[in-house]
Structure 1
Amino acid sequence: MPDETPDDAPEAGHRDDGLDYARSARKAAGSGPGKAPKRRTGGDFRRRTVPKSSGAHPDDRDPQLLDSAMKRMISQHGWELDLRVQAVFGRWAELVGDEVASHCTPESLAETRLIVRADSTAWATQLKLLTPTIVKRLNVELGDGIVTVIDIQGPHLPNWKKGRFTSRDGRGPRDTYG
């Protein structure tokens, strides 16, 4: 039975340690024994793999404090005025007091004119008397010149107009009551 070989016997030309596969791969790559594999020598190969470090001096690539990074981003995008407007709306109760804030709300800030809506005509009158004090307080808290004029508006009143036909100088629904 010389034709039969055991399962663990090496075949002709094949070694169990796998060196024959490594040699054939090296030959296919084009390098002979003792030669190093060819390196790619593209023009931008080295430039894109190693970034420059900032060195001993501070640089934009160094980690930044969140406060300074936020200030830089706000100034680059021009968000200073928007943030001041939101500061007025967000801190309204703190700036004017809880009692006043419970009866009025800021609606808009266009240029230096703040429009405030009161929930009753009595509070609208009271706020008109408090306007110089509120303007002074807002300018101290937010910066001089942010708010120069406060326009106080009364509550939104219901509209009694129903349908196409109306009577001028009518009293609304009260004229139909007994």
Structure 2
Amino acid sequence: MTGGTGGDGITPSDQPQRGYDIAKKALEEARAKARAEGKQVGRGRTGPVGAGRRLRKRGWTGSGADPWDPQPLGRLVGQVAKKRGWDDKVTTGRLFAEWGRIVGEDVASHATPERLEEGILHVRASSTAWATQLRLMSADILRKIAAAMGPGHVRRLKVEGPEKPSWRKGPLHVSGRGPRDTYG
């Protein structure tokens, strides 16, 4: 046997290379090219992703909040929603989801928000008495909404009573006044 070959006469450069070896060779070539261009090699990231300057001088972040700390998911979702123009839809969803907490459980059990259009919140009351009561309380309800959601989202409250019962049954309908003597 000779020094540079295996027992079968194949040199190491003739052997088939594994994926690891190919990647290692490519990395070494890239580092050599970077060194030749005068760049620092192997330093890694010096700050949070997207940070243009070095934020940490020590090996720990300290007790204060900084970009290295984990961020609450709600805050990150809010930032994404704002960037994509979904802020109003997210605010409307929060208003509808937290309706009971905002206006109180007693009011929420008799009033349901239906839609928010151009700053006007349409609310459906469970009875005509509750619709009247909600209209009288509208200024207070608007203050509570502004305190919870921020000013300017809901400018006006439109309270509607319960839907009228339909006397129309089946596919056929006779025009006219309909039943009048059923209420006494």
TM-score normalised by L of structure 2 = 0.63
Paired position in structure 1 for 2:101: 94
- Residue by residue over 1:39-60, the C-alpha shift from the partner in whole angstroms, topping out at 9 and shown as x without a partner, is 977xxx628xx887332x5542
Offset at residue 25 of structure 1 (A)? 4.8
Tell me the alpha carbon deviations over residues 110-147 of structure 1, each in whole angstroms, 9 at most, x when there is no partner: 22010111111111111111111111221122111111
Runs of 4+ with >4 A deviation: 61-64
Give, in angstroms, the shift of residue 63 of structure 1: 5.2
2:10 counterpart residue number:
24
**Separation (CA, whole Å) in 2 of partners of 1:128 and 1:24:** 93
> Structure 2 stretches of 5 or more lacking a match?
16-23, 32-40, 52-66
Q: Give the 3 Å change call, closer, same or farther, for CA 159–52 of structure 1 in structure 2.
A: farther
1:121 & 1:19 partners in 2: Cα distance?
96
Mapped to 2, the partners of 1:138 and 1:25 lie a distance apart of 79
Gaps of 5+ in 1: 1-12, 30-38
1:135-170 C-alpha deviation (Å, 9 max, x unpaired) = 122112211111111111111232111333323222
Does residue 60 (structure 1) correspond to residue 68 (structure 2)? The answer is no
Structure label with greater radius of gyration: 1
Tell me the equivalent position of 1:157: 164
| Separation of aligned partners in 2, 1:51 and 1:127 | 67
RMSD across aligned positions (CA): 3.4
Within a 5 Å distance, the mapping from 1:99-138 to structure 2 comes to: 99-138=106-145
Partner of 1:46: 30
Aligned length: 144
